[in-house]
Amino acid sequence: MEAKKNVFSNYQFNTMRKKTVFDYLTEQCKYLTIKTGGVLRMEVLVMDGCTNGNPKLSAATYILSVKSPQLGNFSKNYLTITETLDLCPFPVDIVINDYCDDDDTINSVSEDKFLETIQEILLRPSIKRSIESLYKQSIENK
């Protein structure tokens, strides 16, 4: 009698879940809402896809934006973060969508430097000024 084949014998199911980029970013969303009294909201849009490299790898892309409900949900994208799912979840690449300066990319950001890097980017003068201006415009159009 032939032994039954288990097609899942090489899988390793682990119940330990690593914190993802999405987890880190969504935790931060509430802080902008609290800081602005709900005038501004941080949103994270998630898309799946693949990298352009060779070989192509599965990837998740997160777009961090700030939205103003009082301005018809006007939204401005500030960061695009790519998480290669084969390396999941870190390191990540961060593209800074700064319309005042040239776009900038920070490659291979580790988990322990992720939030620190995000904070440094959001404190860049042109980005900080843009978010504060959006807040001011939202208050004036209340």
pLDDT at 8 over 70: yes
User: Which range among 31-35, 99-103, 122-126 shows the weakest confidence by mean pLDDT?
Assistant: 99-103
| Nearest by Cα to 61 from 51, 47, 72, 73 | 47
In a domain, 126, yes or no: yes
Residue 1 belongs to a domain: no
Query: Which tokens hold the place of 140?
Result: 């004036």
- Domain membership of residue 114 (yes or no) is yes
Asked, for residue 124, whether it belongs to a domain, the answer is: yes
Number of structural domains in the chain? 1
Residue 82 has pLDDT above 80, yes or no: yes
Do the domain assignments include residue 8? no
**DSSP per-residue letters across 85-104:** TTTTT-SEEEEE--SSS--E
d(Cα 88, Cα 59) in Å, to the nearest integer? 9
What order do you get walking across the sheet with 92-96 strand by strand?
41-50, 58-68, 74-84, 92-96, 104-109
> What's the mean pLDDT in 66-76?
95
Confidence of residue 103 (pLDDT cuts 50, 70, 90): low
Residue at 5 is within a domain: no
Residue 41 placed within a domain: yes
Q: Please compute the mean of the pLDDT values over residues 16-45 and round it to a whole number.
A: 92
What domain range includes position 45?
21-137
